[in-house]
Amino acid sequence: MFDQQLANTQFWLEKSLSDMNQNEWEAICDGCGKCCLNTFIDSEDEDEFTATDQLREGEQLIFTNIVCQYLDNNTCGCSEYENRQTLVPSCVKLTKENLKDIFFMPQSCSYRRLHEGRGLASWHPLLNNGDKTKMHQQGISVKDKTVKDCDVKLDDFDLYIAEWPTKDSD
């Protein structure tokens, strides 16, 4: 729920991500839904796959337009937010502790933008009275661009590779 009083403080200009309280941390999320997209790492060494917290030389993060079955296409939010990690164990919860491994988040991610010193984008809901319209208009969110993972055969994931999730603006 949008908190105008919190937004008016412009806390993100004065505090680092690590200094934010839980309400401030949650408010930084722009609600684009891109973190719910399925991604994979394209590697030159395809025979050897291991979990990673960083991209290695020759690897590239590939986005698809396949989204978690619990994503609400209208709000771009999780319909099972409180239970998401129980229902989807691979769902990554971004925290202050794992922020250093943020390579898997899209360039437009507000946490990533702040972590990299780029500030909030002009389309961020905190700068628009909680409204996501600008974000949707600029094509930043997943709204009307996805297919649910439960409707796609795993072997067909390469048919759903998408470039739009890499888009960022200002």
Does 170 reside within a domain?
no
Q: Residues 46, 52, 55, CA angle at the centre, nearest 5°?
A: 75
Does 105 reside within a domain?
yes
Give pLDDT tens digits for 8-55.
Answer: 999 999 999 999 999 999 999 999 999 999 988 877 665 555 555 567
pLDDT at 51: 53
Cα 153 off chain centre by:
23
Is the four-CA dihedral 127, 129, 132, 137 of positive or negative sign?
negative
pLDDT at 60: 83
Count of domains for the chain: 1
In this prediction, what percent of the chain has a pLDDT beyond 90?
71
Does 169 reside within a domain?
no
Does 102 reside within a domain?
yes
Give pLDDT tens digits for 61-83.
Answer: 899 999 999 999 889 999 999 99
Q: pTM here?
A: 0.88
pLDDT at 168: 92
Residues of the domain holding 75? 4-164
Strand, helix or coil for residue 155: helix
Does 65 reside within a domain?
yes
103: pLDDT confidence band, cut at 50, 70 and 90?
confident
Does 28 reside within a domain?
yes
Q: What Rg value do the Cα atoms of the chain yield, rounded?
A: 16
Q: Tell me the C-alpha distance between 146 and 58, whole Å.
A: 28
CA-based nearest residue to 106, from 42, 66, 163:
163
Give pLDDT tens digits for 84-102.
Answer: 999 998 888 889 998 887 7
120: pLDDT confidence band, cut at 50, 70 and 90?
very high
Does 92 reside within a domain?
yes
Q: What is the DSSP string of 28-59?
A: H-----GGGEEEEEE-S-TT-----SSPPTT-
CA-based nearest residue to 164, from 133, 143, 134:
143
